[in-house]
């Protein structure tokens, strides 16, 4: 029996609305790309500076950002945090996604079987509203999302036209991020996607091998710098490919940082591990905007702390990403989500209306 039958989906979300507040009949023309720079400390980017990482700085200058976003509260490792991004849930607790492992899923293992109930995602919402989705990853463990939202394990589509159970239209993994980026841009040109996720492993690999060393010329800083031309290629693509020109948003964040005293990042109480960047770039986004200053009533800069999910006002987290992407597409929040579930993270000036 398919897992989707064992774990029914949450109640269907409400349809997207147009600028007048009436239900929209057409899919959003907007496109969104989530970029995860695995293991990237925000101070690695500022240490390198604009001359060495001009594409990162272009996102900062032309978009809104913070260098003080947060991971999940309890976990500062790869798969748990990427699952926060795509589900907009924390890891633990009654409504958490509960994926704590950081390795390739076992045969037959999915987010739903592990959670003992269905876990909705941004891929699902976008796909059920008729949009095309894709994931390009540089670690094989990201197959977790492909198997969790395939034609066997994805939930039935109860919104409008039946677009099927397979929520990921395209999935590709390659450890060579330069090859992966070229493949992604090629696919973008051939078969435009509305919601994409891109994972880049370089900083994490260097950090585990040589440490999260911010000394000029270190392997870690060189690995962060190596991402910059890849981001430059992507920026060129979204500005030249007709399907993406003028209508595409990039959201860049990380799953964790890295502790200078170790070659790891698993200590969840260390600021070096839980402090991450969060950038948003695209039409209408406030140039050089400080995301905390833009969200004074709903987000609070956490200083050097990582507040619990019970804190009255939350910091900006990587888990904000899933529901932010859907908001930019004019779509409702992920069913069952708890992070940015009101889709109240403001990234534009003035506040973005649904397309």
The model's pLDDT over 275-326, given as tens digits with 9 standing for 90+, comes to 999 999 999 999 999 999 999 999 999 999 999 999 999 999 999 999 999 9
Q: Is the pLDDT of residue 266 over 80?
A: no
Q: What is the pLDDT of residues 179-197, one digit of tens each?
A: 999 999 999 999 999 999 9
How many structural domains are present in the chain?
1
pLDDT computed for residue 350 by the predictor: 57
pLDDT band at 21 (very low <50, low <70, confident <90, very high): very low
Q: What is the mean pLDDT of residues 95-117?
A: 96
pLDDT band at 264 (very low <50, low <70, confident <90, very high): confident
Is position 341 within any domain? no
Phi, then psi, of 63 in degrees rounded to 5: -125, -175
Task: Decide: helix, strand or coil at residue 137.
Answer: strand
**CA–CA separation, 338 and 66 (whole Å):** 21
pLDDT computed for residue 2 by the predictor: 37
**CA–CA separation, 348 and 81 (whole Å):** 25
CA 34 to chain centre: 5
pLDDT computed for residue 29 by the predictor: 85
pLDDT computed for residue 24 by the predictor: 44
The pTM of the whole model exceeds 0.85:
yes
Q: What is the mean pLDDT of residues 270-277?
A: 95
What's the whole-number average pLDDT of the chain? 91
Question: Is the CB of residue 161 less than 8 Å from the CB of residue 126?
Answer: no
Q: What is the CATH number of the domain that holds 65?
A: 3.40.720.10
Is position 146 within any domain? yes
Task: Decide: helix, strand or coil at residue 95.
Answer: coil
Q: Is the pLDDT of residue 333 over 50?
A: yes
pLDDT computed for residue 352 by the predictor: 43
Q: Is the pLDDT of residue 207 over 70?
A: yes
Instruction: Please give the residue that has the higher pLDDT: either 305 or 13.
Output: 305
pLDDT band at 13 (very low <50, low <70, confident <90, very high): very low
Burial class, 152, CB count within 10 angstroms (exposed 0-12 / middle 13-18 / buried 19+): middle
Task: Decide: helix, strand or coil at residue 142.
Answer: helix
The gap between the terminal CA atoms of the chain, to the nearest Å, is 39
Nearest to 261 by CA among 218, 305, 212: 212
Is position 338 within any domain? no
pLDDT computed for residue 22 by the predictor: 40
Task: Decide: helix, strand or coil at residue 294.
Answer: helix
pLDDT band at 348 (very low <50, low <70, confident <90, very high): confident
Strands 275-281, 248-253: pairing is antiparallel
Question: Is the CB of residue 282 less than 8 Å from the CB of residue 108?
Answer: no
Q: What is the mean pLDDT of residues 8-30?
A: 44
Q: What is the pLDDT of residues 45-94, one digit of tens each?
A: 999 999 999 999 999 999 999 999 999 999 999 999 999 999 999 999 99
Q: Is the pLDDT of residue 353 over 70?
A: no
**CA–CA separation, 197 and 191 (whole Å):** 15
Q: What is the mean pLDDT of residues 139-158?
A: 97
Question: Is the CB of residue 119 less than 8 Å from the CB of residue 336?
Answer: yes
Task: Decide: helix, strand or coil at residue 154.
Answer: coil
Q: Is the pLDDT of residue 9 over 50?
A: no
Q: Which residue has the tokens 């590709």?
A: 172
pLDDT computed for residue 349 by the predictor: 67
Is position 20 within any domain? no
The conformation of residue 352, written as its DSSP 8-state character, comes to: P
pLDDT band at 11 (very low <50, low <70, confident <90, very high): very low
Q: What is the mean pLDDT of residues 142-157?
A: 97
**CA–CA separation, 154 and 135 (whole Å):** 15
Which residues, listed in sequence order, are joined to residue 252 by a DSSP beta bridge?
35, 279
Is position 292 within any domain? yes
**CA–CA separation, 127 and 275 (whole Å):** 31
Is position 6 within any domain? no
Q: Which residue has the tokens 């945090």?
A: 81
Is position 339 within any domain? no
Which residues, listed in sequence order, are joined to residue 200 by a DSSP beta bridge?
37
Question: Is the CB of residue 31 less than 8 Å from the CB of residue 193?
Answer: yes
pLDDT computed for residue 263 by the predictor: 75
How would you write 237-293 as a 3-class SS string? HHHHCCCCCCCEEEEEECCCCCCCCCCCCCCCCCHHHHEEEEEEECCCECCCCEHHH
Give the range of the structural domain holding residue 132, as residue numbers without chain letter.
Answer: 31-328
Is position 348 within any domain? no
């Amino acid at each position: 029996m398919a897992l989707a039958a064992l774990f029914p989906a949450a109640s269907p979300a409400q349809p997207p609305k147009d600028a007048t507040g009436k239900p929209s009949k057409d899919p959003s023309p907007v496109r969104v790309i989530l970029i995860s720079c695995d293991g990237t400390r925000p101070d690695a980017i500022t240490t390198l500076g604009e001359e060495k990482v001009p594409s990162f700085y272009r996102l900062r200058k032309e978009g809104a950002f913070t260098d003080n976003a947060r991971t999940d509260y309890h976990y500062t490792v790869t798969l748990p945090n990427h699952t926060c991004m795509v589900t907009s849930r924390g890891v633990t607790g009654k409504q958490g996604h509960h994926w704590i492992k950081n390795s390739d899923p076992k045969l037959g293992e999915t987010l739903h079987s592990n959670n003992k109930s269905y876990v909705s995602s941004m891929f699902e919402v976008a796909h059920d509203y008729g949009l095309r989705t894709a994931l390009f990853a540089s670690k094989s463990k990201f197959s977790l999302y492909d198997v969790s939202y395939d034609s066997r394990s994805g939930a039935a589509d109860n919104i409008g036209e039946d677009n099927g159970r397979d929520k990921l239209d395209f999935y590709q993994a390659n450890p060579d991020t330069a090859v992966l980026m070229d493949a992604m841009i090629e696919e973008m040109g051939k078969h435009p996607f509305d919601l994409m996720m891109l994972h880049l492993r370089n900083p994490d690999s260097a950090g585990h091998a040589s440490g999260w060393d911010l000394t000029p010329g270190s392997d870690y800083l060189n690995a962060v710098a190596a991402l910059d031309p890849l981001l430059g290629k992507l920026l060129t693509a979204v500005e030249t490919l007709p399907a993406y020109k003028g209508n595409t948003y990039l959201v860049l964040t990380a799953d964790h940082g890295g502790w200078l005293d170790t070659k790891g990042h698993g200590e969840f109480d260390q600021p070096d591990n839980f402090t991450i960047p969060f950038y948003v770039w695209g039409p209408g986004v406030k140039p050089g905007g400080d995301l905390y200053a833009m969200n004074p009533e709903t987000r609070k800069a956490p200083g050097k702390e990582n507040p619990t999910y019970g804190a009255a006002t939350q910091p900006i987290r990587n888990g904000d990403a899933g529901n932010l992407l859907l908001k930019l597409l004019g779509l409702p929040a992920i069913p069952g989500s708890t992070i940015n579930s009101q889709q109240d993270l403001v990234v534009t000036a003035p506040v973005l209306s649904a397309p």
